Every structure is written in structure tokens, then in C-alpha cells.
Amino acid sequence: MTSTDGIDLYLGLDVGKGEHHATALTPAGKKAFDKALPNNEPRLRELFTKLQAKHGTVLVVDQPATVGALPLAVARDTGCRTAYLPGLTMRRIADLYPGEAKTDARDAHVIADAARTMPHTLRDLVPADETVAELEMIAGFDDDLAGESTRIKNRLRGLLTQIHPSLERVLGPRLDHPAVLSLLEHHGSPTQLRKAGRRRLITLLRPRAPRVAERLVEDIFTALDEQSVVVPGTEAAALIVPSLATSLAAVLDQRKLLATRIEDLLEAHPLSPVLISMPGIGVRTAARILVDVGDAKAFPSAGHLAAYAGLAPVTRASGSSIRGEHPSRRGNKQLKRAFYLAAFASLSQPESRAYYDRKRREGKHHVAALVCLARRRIDVLFAMLRDGTLYEPPAVTAA
């Protein structure tokens, strides 16, 4: 939450690729500026300098990423205070204003007025250092690659299931393995696999999968023997499968390179040992937490962090007919996913497993129990980031 004490002018920016719309309001709600601005430094600097000279302390409110990065950087450089209004919050606040128009001018006015009248909805914008800025960009690209990898895998598995379900059951779960992708690049259909023969396939697989090459080839030929008919479309799939396998291999190689760079950047950040010390938090998860949470000083409590991540349960109660809790659909979805995956990865630890099992005994299904575990781990992580301490397993007490 951002403090607005001492603010003389509230400047709301609705950013765009070519130009931004700026609306400035005084503490009394009087409009002091309302114009479109080109997305370039000289005009932005001129506006911020002029408004400060005329009114005093200016608070610039905007979105912190993508096309909003330049105006915020210029605002800081000219001495303005900065904050941002989360997009979902802004849209809900906009419903309180008359009219249904969706224009840049209206949105800029809503942002400025929300900063003036509802400062509790704002979030602090701490200037990011170079490491965090680079991590944010690389982590975003890695998220895009992860989505592309999932899309290609689903397409590959769908094609294999269509032409030969038994073969898909053998190769589908192993599409992350470079040996399997190399196999599909060279032999993209059941006919080509059978024609290549066991010896040639083993020779192809062995350099990348020396331990499982022979067993995998036997599983492939066992699957091939389970189907004798040729499904229509098999020949077309033989042209598509190698191309998809090549694309998937390239995406996975890119993710490996990014993981190396992310690891190097994490090692250079002082909070890295704190994050990595917690069970279940790996390189990519730590990068996402560092980008979105930082040192957690922007959050008054662990509950605020959980709400921001969408892991705080939502209570529903209406008389005696509706009672209960359900997971929130709000929050930062990427951060929520990171906490969820970290909780899942921590199940090998006794303390996490014990808590998860207790929730299962209480009647919660697998996903709900993991969400509860992720929420509990946020309390621990918040304290670690606040105090700068490493993770310590809870002491075991005798019964």
C-alpha cells in the first residue's frame, strides 16, 4: 500500500504504444491537466517538470511493465513519486463511475481519482535494480516458451493418439527427453519406425539415452505390434510429427539456456540464498518470487502477500444455506502458479508431507490440500524475506 501524504497532484496515466493519456487532479478533485502525450522522453520530462514547478509533489500512477516502463522511469528521474494501480482493481473501480465508455481519457481520470480518494488500492513501485529488471524480462520470455512447449506437446500427443494410441502411450510421456525427440525427427510414423528396425533405433537412441535405449525400443515395437490397421491420415502425420519434434527440441534448448542465465542472475542477488533454502523452490520459482515479491516490504503481512498471489481462501456465507470457503480467482496468476508448484515439489519433505496428509484426512482433495500447503508456506517465506533468514525445518517434539 502506498502512502499519499504530502501529495499535491495526482497524475493518472493510461499508457499506449504510441501515446499516453495523462489526467492530473488536485487533492480537491480539480482537473489540472488532461491531454494525450507522445511516448518519448522529452515531452514526458517537460510535463513532469512543469507540473512539479507549478503544484509541488506529484504522484504518477500507472502500470509498471511493458509500454508503461518509460514514463515511470522518467517520472522517477525528475523527482516524482510513483505507484501503480493493479489492472483488475482499476476495472472494478471504473464501474463506480457513471457511463459505459472505455476511452483513454476516462481511464486516466479513473486512475488519478482512485489515487486521490482510495490510496489503499495503490501499490508501491520500488525502482528495480538491473538484476531484477533482467530477471523479469527473461522470466517472462521463459513463461512464453513454457506455454509454447505445452502447446507443441499437446499437438504431438494428439497426432500420435489419432494414428496409433499404443505408440502414444509409450512416447507421449517422454516427449521432454531429447532422445525421443530425435527419434521422432528421423522416424515420424509407425511405418518408418518399423522399417528402421530395432538395431538402427537403438543406435540412434543410445548416445542420448544409454541406459534405457534397448528397453525403450522394445516398448516401441511391442506397441507397434498391438495395431495392424493403418488409420487414415497417417501419411500426413508422418510429415507433421518430425517438424513438431524439431520445434519442441528448439524450444526446450532455449529454456535450458534461459535457465542458465536465470541461475547466474539469482546468484548475484542477495536474496537468492534465502529463497533457494526453502524446500521446493528452484531456479525458475525463485526468479518469479523475486520479480513479483522482492524483499516483501511492499506487503504489510503474509496475509496481504497471500491475497496478492490469489492463495487466500474466500469465505462464502449467506444465511444457513450457503456456507464454506473456495479458492480465490483473483491475484497474480504467475505467482500463484509458482507457489503451487513449489508446494508440490516440497512434498518430499517430512513437514510438508505431514501437513498435506492432514489436510487430506480432513476431506480436502489433492489440489485443495496443495493450496492450503502453499498458503502455509507463504507465512514462512514472508518471515524469511522480512528477517533475511534461511529456512529452518520445524523442531520435532516428542509425543
Full 3-state SS string of 199-231: HHHHHHHCCCCCCCHHHHHHHHHHHHHCCCCCC
**Given this model, what pLDDT does residue 101 score?**
74
Q: Is 12 helix (H, G, I), strand (E, B) or coil?
A: strand
CA distances from 42 to 65, 70, 83, 114 (A): 20, 11, 21, 27
**Given this model, what pLDDT does residue 3 score?**
57
**Given this model, what pLDDT does residue 399 score?**
43
**Given this model, what pLDDT does residue 122 score?**
81
Question: Pick from 122, 102, 113, 217: which is nearest to 167 by CA?
Answer: 217
Question: Pick from 125, 124, 94, 108: which is nearest to 12 by CA?
Answer: 108
**Given this model, what pLDDT does residue 252 score?**
96
> Which mean pLDDT values do the consecutive 10-residue runs of the chain (399 residues) have?
74 84 91 88 90 88 69 86 80 81 85 88 67 84 94 95 94 94 93 93 93 94 93 89 96 94 89 92 91 85 89 69 63 89 93 93 90 93 91 65
The grid coordinates listed for 21 are 493519456
Is there a contact between 7 and 81 (Cβ–Cβ < 8 Å)? yes
Whole-angstrom distance, CA of residue 184 vs CA of residue 25:
62
Every domain range in the chain assigned CATH 1.10.287: 134-264
Q: Which residues contact 65 (CB under 8 A, 6 or more apart)?
A: 136
- The residue type of 97 is Y
The grid coordinates listed for 367 are 489440489
Pick the CATH number of 9-127 from 1.10.1370.40, 2.40.30.10, 3.40.640.10, 3.30.420.140: 3.30.420.140
**Given this model, what pLDDT does residue 70 score?**
83
User: Please, what sign has the CA dihedral across residues 70, 74, 76, 81?
Assistant: negative
Range list of β-strands (E), the chain: 9-14, 19-25, 31-38, 58-61, 81-84, 123-124, 314-318, 322-326
Say yes or no: domain 134-264 is CATH 1.20.120. no
**Given this model, what pLDDT does residue 223 score?**
94
> pTM for this one?
0.71
Every domain range in the chain assigned CATH 3.30.420.140: 9-127
Q: Which residues contact 254 (CB under 8 A, 6 or more apart)?
A: 145
The grid coordinates listed for 203 are 543406435
